[in-house]
Structure 1
Amino acid sequence: MSTPTTTPTTVGAPTTAAPAAGTTPAPASRFSAGLATTPGRLALATVVAVAACLLLAVTGFLAGNGQAAALQDAQRDAAQLVGTQELRNDLVSADATATNAFLVGGLEPTEARERYETSLSEAAEAVPALAATARGDGEADDLATVADSVQRYAGLVESARANNRQGFPVGAAYLDQASAALRDEVLPTLDRVAVSTSERVDADMGTVSLSQLLLLLVLLALVALAAVQLWLARRTHRVLNTGLAAASVALLVGGLVATAAVVGGNGVARSVASGPYAATVATSQALSLATDAKSMESFTLIKRGSGAEFEESYQASMDQATELLTTAEAADGAGSDPLTLLEEYDAAHGAIRELDDSSRWEEAVAAATATTDDSAGAAFAAFSDAAHADVEATSEDAVDRLGSAATTARIAAWVALVLGVAGAVAAAAGMNVRLKEYR
């Protein structure tokens, strides 16, 4: 009887199974095997170089275009805010003119009537224009409410005028109702719209700054392309590759253009926000407060001895207006004519108060309604004209600078895109020359 033989096995020895004939290696294995060869590494380097160029193209385009859009939004919203405040100023100016004319009694002066109608008509024309460009939630509805309230205000003023011309005391009651409607309904609504618009301007400025974060990807693209060139020079012992050199120049120029535009645009936005835009907002608000104070001066006299609360309101508004004009002077970096002129008007107001407090009411009314060169009315008119001129100049400066920066950023975006794509083509061509040497 024969005994079967067994082949001894070594305990712990590994067993290797040969791949079956006809099987395909796994993708990962093929990729690893490809990277083990110089052509495979050259192909990978080509992909990295092209991707770096396209990364700069896309990133530069997005950064420049995104910042341009944010700057244009800031430009539009800043103009909307100025328009809203100018509407408020027109309404307050109309009220101040109507109130001051009421002191004359009978038929008000033609000049005062024309100023009132001009201010009110400008306000009526501004409302639909602002509503058409409103972007915030509910702003268009708020402005529609303002339009209705302004019509109601105008009707009450006409009732006050009609009664005042006939010497009826009820005219003062209509004037009180008109002024109360303006201050309780219209002005708070406009202030709410102004706050909403101001918040959008701040958000727009923040978006302008965020565009700078994309520049980190631009730097990454430049580093990646430099790494590919360094590796290729060491691998092939050739310092210059024409295609990669052209791609490097394209990326460097595109990166510098995009960086300069985006960083410069952020600088413009910040300087505008703290300069002409801040001066515009502060001066416009000061003008509104001072004009409201002018109304309080007239109401104090209309009440004949019982208008202490209106004088207190006058002082509070003047203090705020003075503070705002000081802020505007600091932001604009120039001497503030409106501040000096407002102080001159305040001094004239003090003389009116002295007359009224010394029981010389008729003289006080005459001083308040006078239009001579040395009168309080002339002093206030000079302040108002100077403030309007400052608002127009600083707002135009802010809008122009934001618009110019937006145009520059948009041009830079296209430059980065074109140079990035051109760099990708040049890099692929340059690497292809080296790949051909192994075919």
Structure 2
Amino acid sequence: MTAPLTTTGPPPAGPGPVTGPPDTGRAPASTTPRSRLSAGLATTPGRLALATTVAVVACLVLGVTGFLAGNTQSAALRDAQRDAAQLVGTQELRNDLVSADATATNAFLVGGLEPAEARARYEASLTEAAEALPTLASTAHDAEAADLATVSDSVQRYSGLVESARANNRQGFPVGAAYLDQASAALRGEVLPTLDEVALSTSERVDDDLGSVSLAQVLLLFVLLGLVALGAVQLWLARRTHRVLNTGLAAASVALLVGGIVVTAAVLGGNGVARSVASGPYAATVATSQALALATDAKSMESFTLIKRGSGADFEESYQTSLDEARTLLTEAEDATETGIDGSRELLDAWDAKHAEIRELDDDGDWEAAVKAATSTAEGSAGAAFTAFSDHAHADVEATSTDAVNRLGSAATTAQIAAWVALVLGVAGAVAAAAGMNVRLKEYR
């Protein structure tokens, strides 16, 4: 009989509780991007990598925003420069046409063949106006270009009516005065209102351009943010590594500081230039040009008062109104300029005194003597007094407009250069910051 099979070892263990994977002495691997990022930032190399990113981004932010700030302001200044020159050109065109009309009207008083000097002045003013029209139209906005095209057609019509008046006046036909009335009505009813509308829209654009110059200052906040961020990275690194100087970060700091100062100075300076030009030479240019146009128009009214022979009270009233407005504008122009352009107001008053003498002669019944005084260009005459005022006012407009355009152009160039300086130094700072931080990262590899 076979003996039963027996075991000598312990019985097999039954199933026990699950205790998980064996302990390897390391933390379990992260399973999500967020947890992996948190784990990475918990280490010094991870924090150094983040600091490197912050430093590089700070440098690029300063470079790019500095470039945008300078570039934006430069563009606004260029627009203001262009539109200001366009406005001055439009007003000068208006002045040329009014001057031509004043000369033609004054020459009409002589009767017969007008003086050669007066004819030459009329043709010179009309030629300058005709030459200025295509140039202004080529640089104007679409709506303004269309308006200037209608002005060109009206000027040709005006010129034809003046020639008809001149031809009839030479032959002593009274109908010549009617043609002159039509010519003046066409100028004042069609041409000048259109030019005034063009000047108004251009002036509004100049104001918008000068206002846009200040908007670039908002971007300087990001420039400051870039400097603060880089400074914070250096402070953290110094405390973490107990090392005061990191060559790469120091170079980046110098680059950003220089770039920030350059672009900030340029943008703030450009804004200051825009404000000073708007209230200074630009304001003086507009006021003086408008005053010259009003005074020249008053010169035409003086002639029409005599042409109408006793029925020109309305023209005399227009003369006085225009002259009062011209005086006010010349006072504004003198107040607007730092150098204090002066003399035009006094010359205008001197011409007005001669006009008073003409009116006295006419009112006393000596019409022929009044006409002779109004048409004379001899020294001490009303014509010489008006020419002195006109020449002085033109010189003032030329000086102040040139000053305004040059200052705006110079500020635009400065802002453009500063923009590129900020961009180049921002990129260079980013490279230097990355190199400096990489030295620290290598210590942990």
Task: Look up the match of 2:118.
Answer: 112
The equivalent position to 1:64 in structure 2, one of 66, 70, 75, is 70
Q: Does 1:155 align with 2:163?
A: no
2:135 is aligned with 1:129: yes
Q: Give the 5 Å matches for 1:328-367.
A: 328-333=333-338, 334-367=340-373
Instruction: Report which stretch shifted further, 171-180 or 31-40.
Output: 31-40
Which amino acid letter does the alignment assign opposite residue 295 of structure 1? S
Matches within 5 A, 1:19-34: 25-34=31-40
Matches of residues 327-406 of structure 1 in structure 2 within 5 Å? 327-333=332-338, 334-406=340-412
Following superposition, the deviation at residue 26 of structure 1 comes to: 1.0
Quick check: 1:79 aligned with 2:85?
yes
Distance 2:276 2:211 in 1: 13
Q: In structure 2, what is the equivalent of residue 438 of structure 1?
A: 444
Cα distance in 2, alignment partners of residues 324 and 238 from structure 1: 67
Gaps of 5+ in 2: 1-18, 22-27
State whether structure 2 residue 83 is matched by structure 1 residue 47.
Answer: no
Which TM-score applies when normalising by structure 2? 0.93
C-alpha separation in 1, matches of 2:438 and 2:52: 8
Choose from 174, 193, 197 the match for 2:198: 193
AA partner of residue 246 (structure 2): N
The Cα of 1:361 is off from its aligned counterpart by 1.0
Deviation at 1:174, TM superposition (A): 0.5
Which SS does the other structure have where 1:359 is aligned? coil
Q: Which amino acid aligns with 1:280?
A: T
State yes or no: 1:301 paired with 2:303.
no
State which of 388, 405, 416 in structure 2 corresponds to 1:410.
416
Q: CA deviation at 1:23?
A: 8.6
Alpha-carbon offset, residue 336 of structure 1: 1.2
**Paired residue type of 1:224:** A
What is the one-letter code of the residue matched to 1:154? S
Q: 1:226 to 1:17 in 2, by over 3 A?
A: farther
Please tell me the residue identity of whatever aligns with 2:366. Answer: R
Deviation at 1:17, TM superposition (A): 11
Quote the Cα distance in structure 2 between the aligned partners of 1:167 and 1:72: 55
Structure 1 residue 234 corresponds to structure 2 residue 239: yes
In structure 2, what is the Cα distance between the partners aligned to 1:154 and 1:140?
A: 21
CA distance in 1, matches of 2:45, 2:20: 30
Q: Judging changes above 3 Å, is the alpha-carbon distance between structure 1 residues 383 and 76 closer, same or farther for their aligned structure 2 residues?
A: same
* Superposed CA offset, 1:362-409 (max 9, x none): 111111001111110000000000011111111111111111111111
The RMSD of aligned alpha carbons is 1.4
Looking at structure 2, the residues matched to 220 and 350 of structure 1 have their Cα atoms a distance apart, in angstroms, of 68
> Do 2:30 and 2:36's aligned partners in 1 also have CA atoms closer than 8 Å?
no
How far, CA to CA, are the matches of 1:176 and 1:408 in structure 2? 53
Equivalent in the alignment of 2:144: 139
The offset of 1:93, in angstroms, is 0.1
Which of 180, 199, 211 does residue 206 from structure 1 map onto? 211
CA–CA distance in 1 between the matches of 2:439 and 2:134? 65
Superposition deviation, residue 311 in structure 1: 0.5
What amino acid is the match of 2:314?
A: E
CA gap 1:17/1:416 in 2 versus in 1, 3 angstroms: farther
Q: Which amino acid aligns with 1:240?
A: L
What residue is the counterpart of 1:3 in the other structure?
Answer: none
Give the equivalent residue in structure 1 for 2:289. Answer: 284
> Hey, what's the Cα distance between the residues in 1 that align with 2:74 and 2:29?
57
For residue 207 of structure 1, report the CA deviation from its aligned partner. 1.1
1:24 Cα offset (Å):
6.2
Please point out which of 325, 328, 335 is paired with 1:323.
Answer: 328
Tell me how far apart the structure 1 counterparts of residues 278 and 86 of structure 2 sit (CA, whole Å).
Answer: 15
1:425 counterpart residue number: 431
- Can you give the 5+ residue segments of structure 1 that lack an aligned partner in the other structure? 1-15
Distance in 2 between the 1:223 and 1:281 partners?
Answer: 45
Taking only the aligned residue pairs, the percentage that are identical comes to: 81
- Partner in structure 1 of residue 251 of structure 2: 246
Structure 2 match to 1:9? none
Deviation at 1:33, TM superposition (A): 1.0
Tell me the CA shift for residue 332 of structure 1. 1.5
Shift of 1:25: 1.1
The AA in structure 2 aligned to 1:304 is R
Give the 3-state SS of the residue equivalent to 2:380 in structure 1.
coil
What's the CA shift for 1:335? Answer: 4.3
8 Å CA contact 2:289, 2:393 repeated in 1 = yes
Cα distance, 1:359 vs. partner?
A: 1.2
TM-score (norm 1): 0.94
Q: How much has 1:146 moved relative to structure 2?
A: 0.3
| Change beyond 3 A, Cα 1:214–1:238 | same
SS in 1 for 2:114: coil
Match of 1:176 in 2: 181
Superposed displacement of residue 238, structure 1: 0.8
Note the alpha carbon deviations across 1:262-319, whole angstroms, 9 max, x for none. Answer: 1011111111111111111111010000000000000001001111110010011001
Distance 1:17 1:94, change over 3 A: farther
1:246-265 counterparts in 2 under 5 A?
246-265=251-270
C-alpha contact 2:252 2:430 (8 A) present in aligned 1? yes
Residue 160 of structure 1: SS of its match in structure 2?
A: helix
